[in-house]
Structure formats: structure tokens, C-alpha cells
């Protein structure tokens, strides 16, 4: 095992993590919660 293998492994793991985060962010299950959170700055305080 050399340094090149470790670099490739780290890149693959990082890319898989990135794809997981993107899939989580765009999942339909979270869509409503994100829509509500996006409107928080525009809500009036009483």
C-alpha cells in the first residue's frame, strides 16, 4: 500500500460522502422542512 492508494481511497470516500449529502438534501422527505426553514428570515415577529 503506497501513498497513491491512500489518496485515491480518500478521494473516493470523500466523493461518496458528498453524494450522500446531496441525496439527503434533495430527498422528498426533507423538502417541506427545508421550505419552512427557507422562509424563516421573512417571517414577521409579533
Q: How far apart, in whole angstroms, are the C-alpha atoms of residue 9 and residue 16?
A: 11
Q: How far apart, in whole angstroms, are the C-alpha atoms of residue 39 and residue 11?
A: 36
What is the per-residue pLDDT across 1-46, written as a single tens digit (0 to 9) for each? Answer: 799 999 999 999 999 999 999 999 999 888 889 999 999 999 877 6
The runs of H, that is alpha helices, within the chain are 3-25, 28-39
pTM of the model: 0.67
Q: How far apart, in whole angstroms, are the C-alpha atoms of residue 10 and residue 13?
A: 5
Amino acid at each position: 500500500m503506497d501513498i497513491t492508494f491512500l489518496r485515491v481511497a480518500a478521494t473516493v470516500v470523500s466523493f461518496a460522502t458528498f453524494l450522500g449529502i446531496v441525496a439527503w438534501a434533495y430527498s422528498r422527505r426533507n423538502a417541506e422542512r427545508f421550505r419552512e426553514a427557507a422562509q424563516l428570515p421573512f417571517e414577521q415577529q409579533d
